[in-house]
Amino acid sequence: MPELSLSADTPVGVIERIEAMLPQLSKTMAKIGMLLLAEPTAPLEMSITDLAERAGTSPATVTRFCRLLGYPGYVQFRVSVAADAARTSDEERRADIGRTLRPDDSAQDVLRNLLNAHERSLRATAALLDLDMCARVAARIAGCRHLDIYGTGGSAAMAAELRNRLYRIGVNAHAWGDVHAGLASASIQDEDTVAIGISNSGLTNETIDMLGSAKESGAFTVAITNRRTSPLGQLADATLIAAVPELYLHPADLSAKHSQLFVLDLLYLLVAQRNYDATLERIAASAAAVLGRRRPDPNHGAQPRGLQQVPGTSTGPAKSPNSTRSN
């Protein structure tokens, strides 16, 4: 069984970890988490006792909380918080996270919140990913004779996307969005198969069934889901978490797609890396094949992708080559 809480040294901050874990936390733990999200620097000024009191809980629980996040104890947690605070000191961090769409938001508001939410969910996903596990999964994919990918509904597109990518670099992959076809495939797999089930909630019956069937056939099973504790996650031999800090965007799970895609990206790269040269060749070949279906590029060596002409984005920044203001 893989390690269950966070690995200690991911390239992202404490806040992201908390966000990533929040959905999985118990009520009391969540209280601590919320407090820290509201006041990320609290641990720097307060002792564990103060913090516990502030969160309406006990020091013992705070210690456990730190452990969950992957730190040996409160002291190390505090150090990490300090490091984080230094990095992001005066950022817009506390802008208005966790807001839902409101009818009177301006387009700019919507855009800003959306960007914020996505960035955070990507970071959370990165924070929560078990890299060792990813590497192991990639190794198995690279070495397997066949790869089955299951996903229905919205996740069907994800499954297909992963299939497309991996197939292009030489993995014998199939994606199944239909239960019947998927079950048929799952039932004829063996130990040389890797099976991946994609479901955001991890509760989708169809996907669970397909992955379960593949497991019965002896395949090495991988779940890509939002929650390790979901049925799908429990079922699989390896679970990769695409974290969606649920509270962000009310209307729909927009971030879920991004997080899932992110995990797929990583998986793809890790597999590609294992056979680097061959991969480059294959990609070049398949790109060439698609070229025939394309118009010739009108401005070939010219300036890159129309970056220069900035549209009438109200505040015409002109001037600045990258108007990526950090607001």
Partner DNA sequence: GAGCGCCTGAGAATACCTTTCAAGGTAACG
Partner DNA sequence: CGTTACCTTGAAAGGTATTCTCAGGCGCTC
3-state secondary structure of 193: strand
* First CA to last CA distance, the chain: 44
Residue 193 vs 266, nearer CB to a copy of itself: 266
Residue with tokens 């998927």: 182
Among 144, 171, 208, 223, binds a copy of itself (CB under 8 A): 208
Beta bridge partners of 149: 175, 196
Q: Is 64 in the site for DNA (CB under 7 A)?
A: yes
Residue 49 vs 187, nearer CB to DNA: 49
Helix axes 14-21, 27-38, angle to 10 degrees: 150
Residue 59 vs 154, nearer CB to DNA: 59
Spatial CA neighbour of 193 closest among 165, 176, 177, 215: 215
Q: Is 295 in the site for DNA (CB under 7 A)?
A: no
Q: Is 2 in the site for DNA (CB under 7 A)?
A: no
Residues 51-90 that bind a copy of itself (CB under 8 A): 64, 67-68, 70-73, 75-76, 78-80, 82-87, 90
Spatial CA neighbour of 195 closest among 168, 223, 157: 223
Residues 215-274 that bind a copy of itself (CB under 8 A): 226-231, 233-234, 241, 243-245, 249-252, 254, 257-258, 261-262, 265-266, 268-270, 272-273
3-state secondary structure of 199: coil
Of the listed pieces 141-149, 190-198, 214-222, 276-284, which binds a copy of itself according to CB under 8 A?
Answer: 276-284
Beta bridge partners of 193: 146
Q: Is 133 in the site for a copy of itself (CB under 8 A)?
A: yes
* Nearest distance in Å: CB 85, DNA: 16
| Dihedral angle of Cα 175, 266, 95, 27, to the nearest 10 degrees | 70
3-state secondary structure of 164: helix
Q: Is 66 in the site for DNA (CB under 7 A)?
A: yes
Among 15, 48, 51, 124, binds a copy of itself (CB under 8 A): 124
DSSP H/E element including 82: helix 74-88
Of the listed pieces 1-9, 152-160, 166-174, 293-301, which binds DNA according to CB under 7 A?
Answer: 293-301
Residue 30 vs 254, nearer CB to DNA: 30
Measured from the Cβ of residue 2, the count of other Cβ atoms closer than 10 Å reads 12
Q: Is 58 in the site for DNA (CB under 7 A)?
A: yes
* Nearest distance in Å: CB 102, a copy of itself: 8
Among 15, 16, 19, 57, binds DNA (CB under 7 A): 57
Spatial CA neighbour of 6 closest among 133, 141, 138: 133
* Partner whose binding site includes residue 126, from a copy of itself, DNA, none (CB under 5 to 8 Å by kind): a copy of itself
Q: Is 1 in the site for DNA (CB under 7 A)?
A: no
CB-count burial class (<10 Å; 0-12, 13-18, 19+) for 38: exposed
Residues 10-29 that bind DNA (CB under 7 A): 26-29
